[in-house]
């Protein structure tokens, strides 16, 4: 396979991973936090799960924004013939 094509495929995979891993991690963390707070406070699961999940996913995306931006720029540069 052509090395340029392989670089493009690797950059595309890196872009997908840099977006999906933080969201997956945030979903796991939000589930753990929701379960912990539900157990400690006695509130129902539905009361806590949605706001905690939204907060964790938003925090993860903001935290990984720099890596995502770098991956997108690298992918776009190589896709359109850059260095």
Please say whether the beta carbons of 56 and 29 come within 8 A.
Answer: yes
Please say whether the beta carbons of 57 and 26 come within 8 A.
Answer: yes
pLDDT along the chain (83 residues), means of 10: 75 74 73 74 64 72 68 69 61
Please say whether the beta carbons of 75 and 7 come within 8 A.
Answer: no
Q: Given this model, what pLDDT does residue 48 score?
A: 59
Q: Given this model, what pLDDT does residue 44 score?
A: 62
Q: Given this model, what pLDDT does residue 77 score?
A: 72
Q: Given this model, what pLDDT does residue 66 score?
A: 66
Domain boundaries of the chain, sorted by first residue: 3-78
Q: Given this model, what pLDDT does residue 26 score?
A: 73
Instruction: Compute the Cα dihedral for 7, 65, 22, 20 and give only its sign.
Output: negative
């Amino acid at each position: 396979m052509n090395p340029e094509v392989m670089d493009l495929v690797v950059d595309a995979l890196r872009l997908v991973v840099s977006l999906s891993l933080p969201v997956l991690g945030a979903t796991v963390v939000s589930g753990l936090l929701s379960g912990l707070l539900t157990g400690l406070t006695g509130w129902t699961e539905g009361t806590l799960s949605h706001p905690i999940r939204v907060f964790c996913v938003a925090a993860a995306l903001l935290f990984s924004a720099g890596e995502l931006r770098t991956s997108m720029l690298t992918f776009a540069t190589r896709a359109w013939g850059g260095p």
